[in-house]
A and B are shown apart, each in its own frame.
Chain A
Amino acid sequence: MMIRKTILGTVLSVLIFGPVHAEIANHKVKIGVLTDMSGPYSDLAGQGSVMAAQMAIEDFGGKVNGWPVELVSADHQSKADIASAIARKWYENEEVDAIADLVTTAAARAVREVAKEKGKVDLDSGPGSLPLTNDWCSATGFHWTYDNYATAGGTATAVIKQGGTSWFFLTADYAFGHDLQAQAERVVKANGGSVLGSVRHPFPSSDFSSFLLQAQSSGAKIIGLANAGNDTINAIKQANEFGITKNGQSIAGLLVFITDVHSLGLETAKGMLLTTGFYWDFDEGTRAFAKRFGARMNGKMPTMVQAGVYSSVSHYLKAVQQANTTEGIRVADKMREIPINDFFAKNGKIRADGRMVHDMYLAEVKAPAESKGPWDYYKILRTIPGDEAFRPLSESTCPLVKK
């Protein structure tokens, strides 16, 4: 009986795992999109990111210097170990040359470690944490769309200029939430504002009434939400419900995606300030892309993360074309050399620490009467020049930055 069991186990495991793909040296370019397809970030990245990458490849003609460009995608379930395992398999065994999106910092970090070791390229569009271009930076790693410095800092600056000088933070009790709060606090204090208090809530939470009550009694003019996704949505919804916004206090979301606004509805979200790296209805170029994207995604408009995936993938392909190789370091050098000019970024440039510097936008959520229909959500109040939006290179702790 034991024998049968063991043999069965063996046969089963071979069936499950299958043979290894043989290593063939052929000329092709392979791009992987590793993202969250089932968890809390699957709407703002997920399938839309895969579609964006596919469009970037198609727009490039599907070929670079005669080499076919292939696309693979997978779900990392926001788990670092799964991300790391897939990245390793892709880079080592499946000749993937670059991995894009990488939403959630823990997953991006795990892939960064593998990419660094293998000398391959990673194009981070989804994650927001600053260490990706500081302590964890690499010569082949790029941070494309936004970071906490830009979104939290941009929003806080705008709010404080409008007179929102006293703040209270609702912070997700997570490294990511702490970082968002720190970035906003920096701006508030530098501009002479004051922080009256903060409360750290467990991640994830659904009931925010208790925290909002604490924020209310602090008397702060601004309640800063240092959280993301459903936490932000629930907090804003309940702030409305408890009449907090009616009584003179305002909400500032430090990281808000257009999918969050879509879920909240304009009636609830109207008037909120936020900083974004991309808005689909900004100009001709963004509208053209959004229209094509929407046609293939059931009318959904691209988020900044998805647009960033398009931009990063097409810039990568351009660099491969000009460097005439897929070898990581050489492509990465070429990527730093050429400026980025597409619908996403005007004269974007990549710094030594891997940060892609481009303009960010300060947006205000429209009132329902101002909106012409679904996804017509933002009024762009101001373009924040890239050099102002992102943390100066001189403050970077990345070892690659020559001082």
Chain B
Amino acid sequence: MEPSALVLIVALPFVAGLVTLVLRSDSRALATAIAGATTLACLVLTALLYPSVSSGGSIRRDVEWIPSLGLDFALRMDGFAWFFAFLVSGIGLLVVIYSRYYISPEDPVRRFYFLFLAFMGSMLGIVLSGNLILLVIFWELTSIFSFLLVGYWHHNPAARDGARMALTVTAAGGLALLAGVLLIGHIVGSYDLDAVLDSGNLIRDNALYVPALVLILLGAFTKSAQFPFHFWLPNAMAAPTPVSAFLHSATLVKAGVFLMARLWPVLSGTPEWFIIVGLVGMASFVLGAYLAMFQQDLKGLLAYSTISHLGLTTLLLSLGSPLGLVAAIFHMLNHATFKASLFMAAGIIDHESGTRDLRRLSGLFRYMPITGTLATVASAAMAGVPLLNGFLSKEMFFAEAVATHADSWVDVAAPYAAVLGSALAVTYSMRLIHSIFMGAPPESFPREPHEPPFWMGFPVTFLVIACLVVGIVPGLTIGPFLKVAASAALGTPAPEYSLAVWHGFTVPFAMSLVALGGGTLLYILIGNYLEKAERPPFFGRIEGNRIFEVVMMAISWRGARFVEAVFGTRRLQPQMLALVVVAILAALLPLSGGLGFGSFRGGVVDPTFVILWAVGMACAVAAAYQAKYHRLAALVLMGGTGLVTCMTFVWLSAPDLAATQLVVEIVTTVLIMLGLRWLPKRSETLVEPGGLLARLRRARDFAVAVIAGAGMAAISYAVMTRTPPDTIANFFVEKSYSEGGGLNIVNVILVDFRGFDTLGEITVLGIVALTVFALLRRFRPAPDTIERPEQQRIQYAYDEEDPDREPGATASDYLFVPSIIMQWMFAVVIVLAAYLLLRGHDAPGGGFAAGVALAAGFILQYMAAGTNWVESRLRVLPVKWIGGGLLLAAFTGAAAILFGRPFLTSYFRYADLPLIGKVPMASAALFDLGVFALVVGATVLMLIAIAHQSIRRLRSARIEEQP
């Protein structure tokens, strides 16, 4: 029960998201209700699982995925994962309630909730992954969905740019993370999270530790917007505010620090970890706070503040002490609560007053006292004012910063950086409240501000109360949960710590006082300057996003143009030549040690075989020679080669191939003949002038062709003269009857052993047929092919001269006898196709050959009586055949699942039918029937689509004739 709940928590948001996507476009309330119910269900399920993880245990659910690669769909929940899952789904629920009022009816609501839910599912996936590769997959999914969410208002260029930048940075980090995870898997020998967490010493002592660490940290830093990758976060503020509240406070950006905490027992504690993580964390903490002070956009201020607080968390994680980890986890929660509420409050201010520019906002308190109070309390939590949750974790942070962890200057600098960053946090928090709510109201707002509807303000109220309650009675509220989470993250019981508001007059408390006092003083001194600052002094010029733009420009525009200028061509022939030459070189490379012909010489050759191929080769060469001026001759010659190939299959023990090749040959020939009609006239008398250059080109192509052919011949001979090694063929021969229930091994391979491949193949076939159909729907013939062909003109002229003759009579007279035969043959062809299909499992035949044969039967009717005649009598509906065939094949495969077997497992037995006798009844036969139907549909659709053009020609000719 419990393990299934894990799957449910991750799967539910995705399923519900897809459901919202197919709702009617006006069902805004229903979409909101679905999203709310889903997040609530995830929250309740998570809450119900608490007893299973509270005593230090974990829940697992393993589904085998690709075991040979060590990749399982493993979900795992321990105390730490529980803590995060609860946070994600809890904030998710509040944000859904909030968005109900924020997202306007003009916006595509279904898309919003789909993306929102899918993002939440991916985020829960990261948190609950029990396999590192799976974690990376969910990680990338969050990057993609956050890209789509940030770019939700895609008509806004800033949103598009911000989304693209966020995706580029975080997805690049995701790739680095994947590489790092692969290294970890290589060291440990498993991607399983439990196994990895048990191998801390193994990993830290390995020579690959540093590369793995750096790669994983790149992933974490980019995701958590840590310096120097922080610049994407402020740019992502073009997102709708609910997205910012969810992604940029509680979830997406927390994924990075979550990962660092998750792998903390394995990766931390080394000097490399301490220096890299500590420096990055410290830089982000101080720099983020510094830059936040100068922002004029309310959300921009919050974004930089987020960078700063995540830097604080990173710094705590770098210390390598268990208490640091506890403080980091605590601060992740605290930051999520006060920052989510601030983002939502910012959204309310923006929504109700029409602007979020700090220079334009002021005196809002008298219009919205409740929102003002709530935002003030949340900002105080952000600043670390006592009796609020932010104070507690900041207190722990100060204590850890003062304590000595490693002998280096980073450790010495930590307490000063901590006080400095916290003081700046006080300054920007004060600025936020003071410039928005205090002072005189301006003459006019874009909109007359007022309090939001109750339910829009509710999430903010709830979170602010949480800040207060946790801040006042931490031990009674968050205490036990934090202990469970911290013990699970540590892997050992959590160290002793005290969650109290008052610890006496200690060094950390003194640091808090200094930070509060210093920050206030700083705001009093430079508050007015901050209101007018265009850009921050000192660091303002180092703009990460400018560097990013320059790099992207160089790669994606200049680089691409350079490559195109050097290597690019719009002509096909040079591309083909390059392709062939590269293929030849690639084939030569492994042969540098010599070709090594085998010793097997085979028996005496039958002279007939030699003569056969002498004809076959002559046909091929002649076809190559004639293809330019004598298209029909080339087609006939090509057919000759095809027939020789077909006979070769018969000769060399491949009856199935021969049958298929024969029918395909027929259909291909008909098809190309239908197409010949639309090509321009070309005759040898109109030879184009060919200069020396043209002759040289031909000589070069000829040489390439000869080399390619000689190479193919040499390689084939080298392979054929070697004694074959033991191959998987033995397996198929031995198991074909006992497990596949068929005597025709080739057919059993196709419909049973490799049925999945066949399913893919027929899908491709169906797609090609539909593409052909679609391409020809808007076909317009070239002007010189609109007229009737010359022969038809003569025939029609003859018919018109004679009053007794109908127009077109001569053409039907020519084909009178053949057409009778062809019509009579229809039934025979149908029987043949059925015969080929039914015997396929035990004797040469099968769905492919039968399908093409039946299609040939249809095409005979078109040839015999003309398109109009057939279409008025016979409704073939090829698209239905295609769809039906594909569904039949897929359902036959899926039926195996009902019996608890893997997809496409076949079942067979012999049934005794009266009169007919013993008949094999394999489920594979049904699959083959699906293949048959699809091949019939696809082939007929293509042939009809091309044949139909002759009618269209008449239509367009008629339009031309009309004045």
Q: Do A and B bind each other?
A: no
Q: Which residues of A contact B (CB under 8 A)?
A: none
